[in-house]
Structure 1
């Protein structure tokens, strides 16, 4: 072995050493290939790196390799081994100038990696707390603001690839390659090692964006050290405070100086917010917005989802999360329900769906209140629907199902929101008797490109068909996405393609929607003919 190879492999203890040429193929392999990748080292030469690792990890490895300057090191990150659900590997990489562009990689066996791609806010907070508890080095919570990304991406011929590579670049910089999330539009967060300069993070993300033709974007970053004396159960609360601050204000305001400082600020904010939010709920200082849901069989308006808005903020997420944490979500759900019933009473043509937290569904007082209100307003029967959100709060599925059946007996259909994300899993579909299931938007966004998302959605629709549960796709934003969910046999769709949330329910849809459905009527019928009859 040449001296520069010894130098390249000397940067980390490893079970397996690989050298990847500039054509993406393994030019050299030495070590326990069978143990790490399931193939002897002598069989690895000539294979592409893509054939070694799970396809979900390809964007991360690609971003990782693209961001390596001569002498620079990246990793370790945890990857799933291709074709083996049980096997994962740690990967660390370095590019040495003597290697003529080749990348030296050190691999070792690893515990199974977490979820691929960007995590949901909820999953990120939980996973970040777990990683911090077991970390062997100092970590930081880093934020990246990519101003202008959405605007430039809109003009890109392959926006999905941009999203995948950016997610890969963030994961490549994250601790173990798995703790990264989207905080808000064009804003991201990740847990990373504190020893690498922020400039390196920005440089690598800028390079990936430039490689896909987005050269006029200048990312910025800031970080909060994950230090300070904080009990394990309080870590997520401190992280959430920092994430919410960046969601509201971007990187204009200085971040907390440590986890303990973030927790202190969070507790002070909680005391202040509890009183303010309680007053806002009692005094109805919120507004309702309405987003249309269409029937994919004919393009007609089916119902509107009712969304709550506080002030001029773009997203209600922080306030709703606050209500959950301060045990105010049930009063908020009741207040939104009462305002929705007034709207239904004023217009007999409307059908509206209100969100209800899993915490409220578990409450006998909430369900009794709903049944009592509907008994007093018989004209509303059959026109009120419920979307079950924050299903992680449903600790007793048997009790939840009994309460759901009480709502259904009162004339309301019940939909499980965000299926495929967070806690909404097959156990809920198995143990709760539901009318509709809303498929999480991350599957819909990539459905048109085929692959795992398409397989997941098609199997889910078929399974729901057997259970006589209708399906609703969210985040349908393009005609191509609409065609994909239609072919998959999904019943209803919601998203910007049909209109954003408005201050008043729209009586009809845009004429272009109806025209599109008339043109696609044959494919609609064909898709639904494949589904079992509903009976």
Structure 2
């Protein structure tokens, strides 16, 4: 049976709202369908216009790269794009799903179909996700693709030397080069938006598995079209989805794979599929847990001490917070999180308390604060053993504070409060750490009888520029005062922030304004509120094990 023009149109409009053909130069030679609804102009008015006029500025180069990558007989898309609304008001938030096909022997013309879709916001700079948002999006895409029987792969692209070339090109041209590379990476990704910048020269994307890594490398190089003298040659690694994985296992496999790529770039030996990546990540974690257990057992860590000052009058030393450090590693949070997840945190907290007791015994004038995980406070055996150790050291009574962190949730608040009160009876003060960082802060304050609340540094460090934040802190201080609870602000880094928290009535402060954490509790020189400099201050630093 011969196909009629009507039949062909029927098939086309069964899956599209607007049919467009563009010339090799990108001008619309034919438009048929819902042109006014999608582009704000009637079909006839679209003809002769440049297609890019109807695409939002942030997505124009993406569409150009999609078309540029089409060889004869090749299909691309669907990709999600935002429309500019040219020709009619009220279309600024319109989006469309676009697919394209370059028919052989058709003078380079491109046939496009567009369907209405919700306008999607750009994931980040140049339309690229950051790593965290990419991981979340990737899990959803891979799960949906698996349900539909689609073959989606993770591709990681190393473009060594690109960022150096962009910097050398100058600010304006460098920005254009970065936007071009982002458009190239997005144009090869699933839906035009499943791509991320992972750091200098390294990118990740999800795409349908139809090509070899070498073919994708060559296409990226061709679309990027850089001067060969720069020596910038993309290297691609691809990892198939492989076996079915639960969402949390899938996320773990993605993280393991990208960690290796970020560490070694194109030289990394990628797993064959995400199932193998998950198996490797489990083996790696078990090895890390074993190593951490040995370090805890051998007390192979150090305590560093950061001053906490009283703001009553001129700043004067109140106590030191004891902060755990593992060798030359940076922030200890990953190790602490691993200890919590693998049931090692009680042993770790116990070892930290032992070291703190040693320091307190050697230095009769020393006052320390030590962090305890919510998991430890919820463990009756841990609390009983801790109480026994404290009773064996009556000389530390009144000189040891415990900071309850929010890195692990407290399940039974009533039980936790009973445990905390048993420690207060032994002369230890209790501080609620990270207040405001988690959703449970107010519930903790309502149900736990504590002596001090420490405001999370995220609320404190920018107070000099945040009048709403200052008002918020003032109200929290007032609430704590009514509960007869003292307040402590961390990440106080400038004299102006100190002035704000003093005005709010905060009782104590901690941060680089008063000194960095050191291997030994150093004598504290008083710092007045009017000081103009802070030696050794590091902007945005968080001193703590969480």
The two structures have a TM-score, normalised by structure 1, of: 0.60
Contact preservation (8 Å) 2:309, 2:319: yes
Determine the structure 2 residue equivalent to 1:283. 298
- Return the offset for 1:192: 6.8
Does the Cα contact within 8 Å between 1:222 and 1:251 map onto a contact in 2? no
In the other structure, the counterpart of 1:313 is: 329
Does 1:446 find its partner at 2:462?
A: yes
Residues 124, 181 of structure 1: 8 Å contact kept: yes
1:12-91 pair list within 5 angstroms: 69=61
Residue matched to 2:416? 400
Matched, 1:461 2:477: yes
Aligned to 1:495: 511
Residue 292 of structure 1 contacts residue 494 of structure 1 at CA under 8 Å; is this kept in 2? yes
Match of 2:110 in 1: none
- Please name the residue that 1:294 is paired with: 309
Report matched runs for 1:354-365 at 5 Å.
Answer: 354-365=370-381
Superposition pairs of residues 428-439 of structure 1, within 5 angstroms: 428-439=444-455
* 1:366 maps to which of 365, 382, 388: 382
Deviation at 1:251, TM superposition (A): 5.6
Number of residue pairs aligned between Structure 1 and Structure 2: 413
Contact 1:448 1:481 in 2 (8 A): yes
Going from structure 1 to structure 2, the CA distance change for 1:425 and 1:338 (only over 3 Å counts) comes to same
Q: How does 1:133-532 map to 2 (within 5 A)?
A: 133=143, 227-229=241-243, 230-238=245-253, 241=256, 249=263, 254=268, 256-257=270-271, 258-297=273-312, 298-450=314-466, 452-509=468-525, 513-514=527-528, 516=530
Contact 2:157 2:202 in 1 (8 A): yes
Whether the 8 Å contact between 1:71 and 1:97 is mirrored in structure 2 is no
CA deviation after TM superposition for structure 1 residue 134, in Å: 6.0
What are structure 2's unaligned runs of at least 5 residues?
A: 1-19, 42-55, 67-79, 97-116, 124-128, 164-181, 209-215, 221-233, 534-546
Shift of 1:345: 0.9
Residue 469 of structure 1 and its aligned partner are, at CA, apart by 2.1
CA contact (8 A) 1:438 1:474 kept: yes
SS of 2:340's equivalent in the other structure is: helix
TM-score (norm 2): 0.59
The separation in 2 between residues aligned to 1:266 and 1:236, in whole angstroms, is 11
Is the contact between residue 95 and residue 118 of structure 2 (CA under 8 Å) also seen in structure 1?
no
Alpha-carbon shift at residue 226 of structure 1 (Å): 8.5
- For 1:115-126, what aligned pairs fall within 5 Å after superposition? none
Aligned to 1:153: none
- 1 CA distance for matches of 2:94 and 2:241? 31
By how many angstroms is 1:292 displaced? 1.4
> What residue in structure 2 maps to residue 106 of structure 1?
95
Cα 1:128/1:514, change in 2 over 3 Å? farther
CA distance in 1, matches of 2:401, 2:196: 31
Decide whether the 8 Å contact of 1:143 with 1:187 is kept in 2.
no
1:130–1:271 CA distance, 2 compared to 1 (3 A): same
Residues 363 and 343 (structure 1), Cα distance of their counterparts in 2 relative to 1, 3 Å cut:
same
